[in-house]
Structure 1
Amino acid sequence: MSLPYFDAAAVRAAAPWPTAVAALERALADGVDPELDSPRLFSPAPGGEFLLMPAQGVSYSGVKALTVAPGNPARGLEKIQGIYLLIDSDTLAPLATMDGTELTAIRTPATTLMAVKHILAAAPERETKEDPQVLVFGAGIQALNHLRAAHAVLPGARFAVVGQRPERVQSLIGTLAAEGIEVRAGSTADVPEADVILCATSSRTPLFDGGMVAEGAVVAAVGQHGLDAREVDAALVLRSDVVVEGRASALREAGDLIPARSAEEWASIHPLNLQELVAGKLERTPGKPCLYAGVGMAWEDLVTAAVVYEGGTRE
């Protein structure tokens, strides 16, 4: 028998934003430890790289095989493409395959907005807003889906988007308008007024002056991985409370953090990871921004893939 395959539409239909966020929260509450996640495996590919992301769990295990082609967006193609293989943990028998690109496009914003939601909930009462201004950097699929996820997770929020190519920004705005999500074109001049800043770009250099970020604002830098790539500058890192996906993964791949402080300094600081954040352990410093740094982790793929397998319509 051939393995069932979940195409992009099936993955998307089975994991709406509230469902995906809730599944990630539940996994962390039930004991998933980001510090035990398997390291991402890299290998060169023509014009880019291969990524393998294995993960194991009680009921399911799995591996995501991706290609990353940095030159693709300029050609109108996806930067990240791949497939996911879900495996039965008891027998190690393959159970299903699914579109790895769509899985990535869902689990990354779901993880980011889960983190943002809990960071906002930990804010001092005087710093909370019912209608936060959300500023998104990027105009690709991750920026588009971060806006969709933010609309679902942050009711009442107002949205603006910043991108290098005006035509892509307008296309994104039009796509979201057709879905009933109002977004305006923004610029770096909006940074001081933003309550939440989501960085979902392929930029390898900081997107804005970290000194412009408002006291109490939440910044999520999730568009890049690798110690030679950064979306935010050291000034923002040094003036912020910091939350990471996992401390080990951040030390391996979070270029937003390592230039600002050494690995030894981060080990001493011991920033909270997502499991601790969801458990309510974050105590925000009044008047400080909070930075969430994410690089993408295999356990998030596995949790989302299980949601798709158990609730989706397969071929």
Structure 2
Amino acid sequence: MNLPYFDAAAVRSAAPWMTAIAALEHALLDGVDPEEDSPRLFSPAPGGEFLLMPSSGRRYSGVKALTVAPGNPARGLEKIQGVYILFDSDTLAPLATMDGNELTAIRTPAITLLAVKDILASAPGRTTAAGQVLVFGTGIQALNHLRAAHAVLPEAGLACVGRRTDRVAALIGQLASEGIEVRAGSDADVPEAEVVICATSSSTPLFDGALVAPGAVVAAVGQHGLDAREVDFQLVLRSDVVVEGRASAMREAGDLIPARSKEDWESIRPANLRDLVKGEFSRSPDKPCLYAGVGMAWEDLVTAAVVYEGGNRS
């Protein structure tokens, strides 16, 4: 069997931002329930671990198989590497493989900006317009979140915050070459930002949660795991909260879990993405809104289907 392989360039070409976002939104409206998604699976590997993310749907099913090698960056290699395998749900025959890293690099900003635009629109008297978008981070996720924010919120001003000025400058230069204007920012910009996106691997809060303005949207999406701390407890406690899925958040959202007891979270029952896109979430006018994302397998499957179908039409 000669399976088609979609490399990183082919994945990018087949899933532009608005196409990927529309597909994710359609999936949620068409019956995908984040609460039924398969949990992330971990298994030991030499020098690291395997990370498996399976998901099934009516037409397609698939699994993202990744390796996590903490020692790789010191050797000039990627810490996370992997592939996605797409299957036909009826026969379970494999249909295609594709670059797993690039798939992640696309679906994560796509789902974040889907959440951000719908949270903005859920405020009374508001549209999806945003004034200032502030992104923390300088890696591929920060880069792609800025690209996606430019596509979804074209009138917004964009700023990037990073610990290393050389990496901030490189990111700004890369985006300038694509016609996207981004300025260097700092945590002093947080009070004026309408959207703050955290796309880092930080284990400590990036800014003082008291700085976030009422009505602002904060998306903490840089990593999963109980040691993740992109935002502080103060922000969690003063915000409306939206999650990708309640079950996945309670397993892996280190930004949220320690801020309240399990019983409190069960009582609050924060809105998930399906609730959000169906219009079943309403915001408090005097609070920020925090969106916490850990990355889910159904998002990979939806995006992989877009890549496969788009690639087959080209």
Cα distance in 1 for partners of 2:99, 2:61 equals 16
Cα distance in 1 for partners of 2:140, 2:78 equals 8
Counterpart code for 1:194: A
Counterpart code for 1:160: A
Counterpart code for 2:159: A
- 2:300 maps to 301
Mapped pair 1:202 → 2:164: no
Using the TM superposition, give the Cα deviation of residue 70 of structure 1 relative to its aligned residue in structure 2, in angstroms. 4.5
Alpha carbons 2:29, 2:278 under 8 Å: kept: yes
Q: How does 1:227-246 map to 2 (within 5 A)?
A: 227-246=226-245
TM-score (norm 1): 0.96
Greater CA deviation, 45-54 or 210-219?
45-54
Using the TM superposition, give the Cα deviation of residue 228 of structure 1 relative to its aligned residue in structure 2, in angstroms. 2.0
Alpha carbons 2:196, 2:219 under 8 Å: kept: yes
- 1:166 maps to 165
Counterpart code for 2:78: E
Greater CA deviation, 214-223 or 38-47?
38-47
Aligned residue for 1:259, secondary structure, equals helix
Cα distance in 2 for partners of 1:129, 1:35 equals 26
Using the TM superposition, give the Cα deviation of residue 45 of structure 1 relative to its aligned residue in structure 2, in angstroms. 3.5
Mapped pair 1:191 → 2:194: no
Please list every run of 5 or more consecutive structure 1 residues that lacks an aligned counterpart in the other structure. none
Cα distance in 2 for partners of 1:136, 1:195 equals 11
Mapped pair 1:91 → 2:91: yes
Cα distance in 2 for partners of 1:277, 1:87 equals 29
Alpha carbons 1:34, 1:273 under 8 Å: kept: yes
Using the TM superposition, give the Cα deviation of residue 75 of structure 1 relative to its aligned residue in structure 2, in angstroms. 6.0
Alpha carbons 1:151, 1:181 under 8 Å: kept: yes
Counterpart code for 1:91: T
Counterpart code for 1:192: P
Cα distance in 1 for partners of 2:74, 2:113 equals 27
Aligned residue for 2:113, secondary structure, equals helix
Greater CA deviation, 240-249 or 64-73?
64-73
Using the TM superposition, give the Cα deviation of residue 210 of structure 1 relative to its aligned residue in structure 2, in angstroms. 0.5
- 1:64 maps to 64
Change (3 A) 1:90 1:118: same
Cα distance in 1 for partners of 2:263, 2:82 equals 35
Aligned residue for 2:271, secondary structure, equals coil
Change (3 A) 1:26 1:314: closer
TM-score (norm 2): 0.96
Greater CA deviation, 301-310 or 67-76?
67-76
- 1:284 maps to 283
Deviations along 1:252-307, whole A, 9 cap, x unmatched? 00001011012221111100000010001111001100000000000000000000
Please list every run of 5 or more consecutive structure 2 residues that lacks an aligned counterpart in the other structure. none
Cα distance in 1 for partners of 2:113, 2:177 equals 22
Counterpart code for 1:250: A
Deviations along 1:221-266, whole A, 9 cap, x unmatched? 0001111222101000000000000000000000010110122211
The alignment of Structure 1 onto Structure 2 pairs a total of residues equal to 314
Aligned residue for 1:309, secondary structure, equals helix
Change (3 A) 1:207 1:45: farther
Aligned residue for 1:52, secondary structure, equals strand
Cα distance in 1 for partners of 2:74, 2:118 equals 35
CA RMSD of aligned residues (A): 1.7
Change (3 A) 1:171 1:69: farther
Counterpart code for 2:162: G
Deviations along 1:21-47, whole A, 9 cap, x unmatched? 000000000000000000000123345
Counterpart code for 1:100: G
Cα distance in 2 for partners of 1:77, 1:165 equals 20
Change (3 A) 1:85 1:61: same
Counterpart code for 1:27: A
Counterpart code for 1:268: S
